[in-house]
Amino acid sequence: MSGEIEISVKNLNLWFGNFQALKNINIEIPKNAVTALIGPSGCGKSTFIKTLDRMNDLVDNVKFTGEVIYKGRNILASDTDVVELRKEIGMVFQKPNPFPKSIFDNVAYGPRVHGIRDKKTLHEIAERSLKGAAIWDEVKDRLNESALRLSGGQQQRLCIARLLAVEPDVLLMDEPASALDPIATSKIEDLLHELKKDYTIVIVTHNMQQAARVSSHTAFFWLGEIVEYASTIDLFERPQNKRTEDYVTGKFG
Amino acid sequence: MARNRFVRKLNELRRDLIDMGAITLQSVKDVLTALETSDIALAERVIANDDKIDNFDRKIESQCVRLLALEQPIAKDLRIIATSFKMTTDLERIGDFAVDIAEEVVTMGKPIHVPVSASKFNELVADVKSMVADSIETYAQGNVQQARSFDTRDDRIDYLYRDIVNSMVNALAQGKCSTDTVSDVASLLYIIRYLEHIADHAVNIGNRVCYMEEGERVYLK
């Protein structure tokens, strides 16, 4: 793979109790690009991205081997500061999950947690983040309204703004548009094209066309393994593996 | 197997393209028979039959657009549709060249007398005919090996084309043509040009079959 690598995963295995959810995952995630993860339900995609910001630590009986190298260190190491890690590698979930607070407080939440108290600074961060998430124009006159009054698509972009406010490097997105209508979905997809200039993005999606539209690289997961990882155009135009071909053409899965 | 309806539609598309190939091939065979035997009626049938080829072209184009719009095909499914979409144009053009030859046959209205080697001309005709037949077969069978042979076969056709043109130009230059045969020479120059173009479209089809089967775009020419 040409270009700079943001995250390098080496021989990653992960178990929930006796169940092995990830098997010998090796993947290099390019910097300032969108990498899509596709595969049938239960194939390990979400488990994989949750490994990248150590969200799986919250699950009982989880154990893993291998390395996830980010900024020259193995983030799976026991001494990793996961709070600091999640500031650098943030996650957007399938269902928008704004806090039951004002729009402003949602975006200011992260910076406040990290000790920023100055109102002017918080306002600057909020404006920058909301602009970055392409929602500023829609909310700038109602920053004190409850975030729960926004539409689903707006809530999801607010959640992205909330992530941007803590200035991460990597955005992990677990089916960020699956609960949204086509217009809200296309806004998120347009946003991904903008965000990749400044961030590294990994997106899980069940929508093949979405993966094809937004990503430069795609990995096909199946039964906890990466069956094929290639440039998106290669994977969708000429997959090398029969299982990939059958999955992306809808012949199984 | 999921997506049964889509698979059925895709198979229909392939069958239609093969049927279009069959009637296009028949036009090529008929026009060359008409040329050989000065059969004006047969040449006129070739001209009339072109509507069928054009109708297939329009039908296949709309099938492809519909499948692209509604089914979002990927991987080999996508390549089959992309190949069919382009190949229908190749077949349509081959049909048009058969009509062009038929029109020359009708215009001449009699057996041609030209000062060129009959064996080379006959070889050119036979080669072009078999290239068209084989191109349709490669699509039907996904025969990449056969498709790859088109490059060399087309080189031979190009050689024969140039050789015949040179012979005719020399004959004209040396004043070997009577007033009658000069117009035959002019017609034949057109005809062999059309034959050479037909072979080029057969090569295109071969290239497209390689892409359809293996995903690599090849440009044999």
Looking up tokens 């088109």 gives B150
**Which pair of structure tokens corresponds to residue A12?**
């990653």
Residues 6 or more apart in contact with residue A94 via CB below 8 angstroms? A174, A175, A176, A178, A179
3-state secondary structure of A24: strand
Distance CA A150, CA B67 (A): 37
Please state, for a pLDDT cut of 70, what percent of chain A lies above it: 99
Cross-chain Cβ contact B75/A253 below 8 Å: no
> B74 contacts in A (CB within 8 Å)?
208, 212, 236-237, 248-249
3-state secondary structure of A49: helix
pLDDT at A167: 92
DSSP secondary structure string for all residues of B70-134: HH---HHHHHHHHHHHHHHHHHHHHHHHHHHHHHHHHHH-S----SS-HHHHHHHHHHHHHHHHH
pLDDT at A67: 97
Q: Which residues of chain B have pLDDT under 70?
A: 1-2, 220-221
Select the residue from B11, B72, B74 to test the A interface by mutation, using most A Cβ atoms within 10 A: B74
pLDDT mean across residues, chain A = 94
pLDDT at B1: 53
pTM beyond 0.80, yes or no = yes
Beta pairing, strands A225-231 & A170-174: unpaired
**pLDDT confidence of A181, banded at 50, 70, 90?**
confident
User: CB count, 10 Å around CB of A10?
Assistant: 14
> A250 contacts in B (CB within 8 Å)?
2-3, 6
> B4 contacts in A (CB within 8 Å)?
none
pLDDT of A104-154, one tens digit each? 999 999 999 989 999 999 999 999 999 999 999 999 999 999 999 999 999
The answer to whether residue B215 neighbours chain A at the CB level (below 8 Å) is yes
ipTM computed for the complex: 0.71
> A252 contacts in B (CB within 8 Å)?
2
Asked whether residue A16 carries a pLDDT value surpassing 80, the answer given is yes
pLDDT of B60-101, one tens digit each? 999 999 999 888 899 999 999 999 999 999 999 999 999 999
The answer to whether residue B8 neighbours chain A at the CB level (below 8 Å) is no
pLDDT (average), residues A200-213: 94
Beta bridge mates, A222: A225
pLDDT of A70-113, one tens digit each? 999 999 999 999 989 999 999 999 899 999 999 999 999 999 99
**pLDDT confidence of A180, banded at 50, 70, 90?**
confident
pLDDT at A1: 62
Please state, for a pLDDT cut of 90, what percent of chain A lies above it: 87
Question: Do B24 and B91 contact (CB within 8 A), yes or no?
Answer: yes
Distance from CA of A246 to the nearest CA of B (A): 9
Question: Residue A174: CA atoms inside 13 Å, Cβ hemisphere, count?
Answer: 20
Residues 6 or more apart in contact with residue A16 via CB below 8 angstroms? A59, A61, A62
